[in-house]
Amino acid sequence: MRPLEDARELSYASAFTLGLLDPGQPTPLAVTGPAGKAAARRYDVYRNNVTVSLIDALAAIYPAVQRITGIDFFRAMARLHIRSNPPTSPLLFEYGRDFPAFIDDYEYANAMPWLADTARIERAWLDAYHAADAEPLPPAALAALPSNKMADVVFTVHPATRIVRSHFSAVTIFAANRSDGPVGAIDASSPEDALITRPDIDVVVRRLPPGGAVFLLDLISGRSLGEAAASALQVSPSFDIASAIGGMIEAGAFTMALLETHDAQ
């Protein structure tokens, strides 16, 4: 343990951080300029560095959201978010996980009910980008399994795979606003589910067919192919199992296919 007088001397961080994200706080008394100069504008350099760099961090994670809202709207929204939810990890690519929920509650974004889901896809995109490397399941792996046992097959999810479900056209909105081209009118009202994968280095975002998200979420949670297909057919009678399997293999959503063996005693 440090001596008590050290504890007093080490209170500088509490005093210094008080105003970093709160413009209503005065300049800390502990700091000064040289030769009796004031420290208000000097301390403001730190306030500005903190706020601007964290807004920039959110803008880097959510470029489609910024493109949709415009820069001024985005930065005002982000400023409020970083004050209420500053980062808790020094890894800024982990920051902003609660930003989509913040957007959901942000009064001025009410007119864009699909904005938060677009943000959720962007957050999932960055998670996939940094996820551990893994070889996706090769197409031949399934062909090697006995066809009469296919319903029992279970899969190991790839570390990068993410599913985002939306009541709005979030995948179309995401894709249009992450490209360089002009964005035309989009009908935002049709529900879309996203499959985000990274089979090698590039992150790929696909729109899933009806039932596809339920099917993949079942497989990700460890249910068998037969169980997952039944769940998907229940929510979407037109669900096409063969094309769903082909799609998930092509996307690289899984790394292994295992046949559950029910060994006789």
Partner 1 sequence: MSLTVNPSASAPTPLRFPAFSVDGLAGTSFKPQHLSAILADGKQRGFFEVHAENYMGEGGAPHRALEAVRREHPVSVHGVCMSIGGPQPLDKTHLARFGMLVERYEPILVSEHLAWSTHETTYFNDLLPLPYTEATLSLVCDHIDEVQEAIRRPLLLENPSTYVAFRESTMGETEFIRRIAQRTGCGLLLDVNNVFVSATNHGFSPLDYLSDFPLAFVGEIHLAGHAEQSDDEGDMLLIDSHDCPVVDAVWKLFEIVVGRCGLIPTLIEWDSNIPAWPILKAEAAAAQAILDCYAAIAREDRHAAA
- Site residues (vs partner 1, CB under 8 A): 2, 5-6, 9-14, 16-17, 20-21, 29-35, 37-43, 45-46, 49-50, 53-54, 57, 86-93, 129-134, 159-160, 198, 201
Cα–Cα distances in angstroms (integers) from residue 230 to residues 35, 146, 244, in the given order: 77, 20, 13
Name the residue with tokens 């959110």. Answer: 58
Nearer to partner 1, 21 or 154 (CB): 21
CB of 1 to partner 1, least distance (A): 12
Task: State the minimum distance, in angstroms, from the CB of residue 27 to partner 1.
Answer: 9
Shortest distance (Å) from residue 28 CB to partner 1: 8
Is the Cβ of residue 134 or residue 232 nearer to partner 1 in the bound state?
134
For partner 1, which is the closer residue by CB, 131 or 230? 131
Is residue 109 classed exposed, middle or buried when 0-12, 13-18 and 19+ CB atoms within 10 A define those classes? buried
Dmax (CA) of the chain:
87
Distance CA 33, CA 128 (A): 46
In the bound complex, what is the minimum distance in angstroms from residue 30's beta carbon to partner 1? 6
State the amino acid at position 228 in one-letter form: A
Is there a contact between 136 and 240 (Cβ–Cβ < 8 Å)?
Answer: no
The backbone region for 239, taken as left when phi is positive above 0, alpha when psi lies in -120 to 50, beta otherwise, is beta
Minimum CB separation from partner 1 for residue 257, in Å?
22
Complex with partner 1: residue 26 or 146, whichever CB lies closer: 26
Of 56 and 260, which CB lies nearer to partner 1 in the complex structure?
56
